[in-house]
């Protein structure tokens, strides 16, 4: 298991050798890798794990890469996930179609690993500013991602490690509504069994810690679904 705060990348590739190459290089760069060998698994895992980025092979059995991309971009819960499509050389029309249906970038096979990693970094800089930026701000809340310190206004906020991860996740995507399952997966990892109401407990603690006189409650509860930082 990698660092839970590191960006998570969902790799969708049906050829085992290609998958190994991608997973090896991404993990070496410090990313968490989630693997899907087909479109069906890709759609499930995208919704379940809320990855920071998807690398999506064009040619997949059954559901094609383009159909996976279309479905990811159509659903509210997954439409924010950036997608880099992996296409075979010469399929110029495919590239255009891919960008038309909402893919954020594409790279042509056989690709150079260095080029792919550079594209991944650029895309993540947009989707996970906390992985490349030291300070994150939202209103009067400031998170120092190096020292793991939080300030609201001029008050230091003391947070436990779980509340800190929760705030970091929320502040990286202000306004985005996270389901309890997505927060569980992001903060505790999918390999640990934690009940969804545990999320509510920690959100309650975070809310209390951020509560300073004269300030609004920045955490919005979306009934029956999850939470957002507003
Ligand atoms: Ca393939």
Domain membership of residue 1 (yes or no) is: no
Domain membership of residue 21 (yes or no) is: yes
Looking up residue 224, the CATH number of its domain turns out to be 1.10.10.10
Report CA(13)–ligand 1 centroid distance (Å): 6
Domain membership of residue 166 (yes or no) is: yes
Q: Give the tokens for residue 196.
A: 């969804």
Report CA(21)–ligand 1 centroid distance (Å): 13
Report the number of distinct structural domains present in the chain.
2
**pLDDT attached to residue 2:** 42
Asked whether the predicted pLDDT for residue 130 surpasses 80, the reply is no
Same domain, 13 and 119: yes
Same domain, 79 and 145: no
Share of the chain above pLDDT 70, in %: 90
Higher pLDDT, 126 or 164: 164
Average pLDDT over residues 78-91: 84
Higher pLDDT, 24 or 108: 24
Asked whether the predicted pLDDT for residue 26 surpasses 50, the reply is yes
pLDDT in tens, 172-202: 888 888 999 889 888 887 667 788 889 999 9
Question: Of 83, 105, 127, which residue sits at a domain end?
Answer: 127
Question: Of 96, 127, 158, which residue sits at a domain end?
Answer: 127
Report CA(164)–ligand 1 centroid distance (Å): 39
Asked whether the beta carbons of 42 and 14 are under 8 A apart, the reply is no
Report CA(157)–ligand 1 centroid distance (Å): 48
> What residues pair up with 53 in beta bridges, in sequence order?
9
Gap between the Cα atoms of 48 and 33, Å rounded: 14
Same domain, 182 and 100: no
Q: Report which of 2, 53, 51 is spatially closest to residue 29, judged by C-alpha positions.
A: 2
Report CA(87)–ligand 1 centroid distance (Å): 9
Residue range(s) defining the domain that contains residue 16: 8-127
Asked whether the predicted pLDDT for residue 1 surpasses 50, the reply is no
Residues with C-beta atoms within 5 A of ion ligand 1: 14, 57, 59
Instruction: State the chain's mean pLDDT as an integer.
Output: 87
- Rounding to the nearest 10 degrees, give the CA dihedral for residues 123, 141, 202, 159: 110
**pLDDT attached to residue 24:** 96
Look at residue 206 and give its three-state secondary structure. helix
Domain membership of residue 2 (yes or no) is: no
Same domain, 117 and 143: no
Report CA(174)–ligand 1 centroid distance (Å): 35
Domain membership of residue 167 (yes or no) is: yes
pTM for this predicted structure: 0.63
Higher pLDDT, 11 or 184: 11
Same domain, 162 and 94: no
Looking up residue 34, the CATH number of its domain turns out to be 3.40.50.2300
Domain membership of residue 3 (yes or no) is: no
Domain membership of residue 201 (yes or no) is: yes
């Amino acid at each position: 298991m990698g660092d839970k705060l590191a960006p998570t990348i969902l790799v969708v590739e049906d050829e085992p050798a290609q998958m190994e190459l991608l997973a090896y290089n991404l993990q070496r760069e410090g990313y968490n890798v989630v693997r899907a060998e087909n479109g069906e698994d890709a759609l499930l895992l995208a919704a379940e794990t809320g990855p920071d980025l998807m690398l999506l092979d064009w040619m997949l059995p059954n559901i094609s890469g383009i159909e996976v991309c279309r479905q990811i971009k159509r659903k509210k819960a997954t439409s924010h996930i950036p997608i880099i499509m992996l296409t075979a050389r010469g399929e110029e029309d495919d590239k255009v179609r891919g960008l038309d249906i909402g893919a954020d970038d594409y790279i042509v096979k056989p690709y150079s690993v260095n080029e792919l990693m550079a594209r991944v970094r650029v895309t993540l800089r947009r989707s996970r500013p906390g992985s490349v930026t030291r300070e994150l701000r939202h209103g009067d809340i400031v998170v120092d991602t190096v020292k793991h310190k939080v300030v609201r206004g001029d008050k230091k906020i003391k947070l436990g490690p779980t509340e800190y991860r929760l705030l970091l996740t929320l502040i990286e995507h202000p306004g985005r509504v996270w389901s309890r399952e997505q927060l569980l997966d992001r903060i505790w990892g999918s390999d640990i069994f934690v009940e969804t109401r545990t999320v509510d407990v920690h959100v309650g603690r975070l809310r209390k810690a951020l509560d300073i006189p004269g300030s609004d409650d920045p955490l919005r509860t979306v009934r029956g679904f999850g939470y957002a930082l507003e």
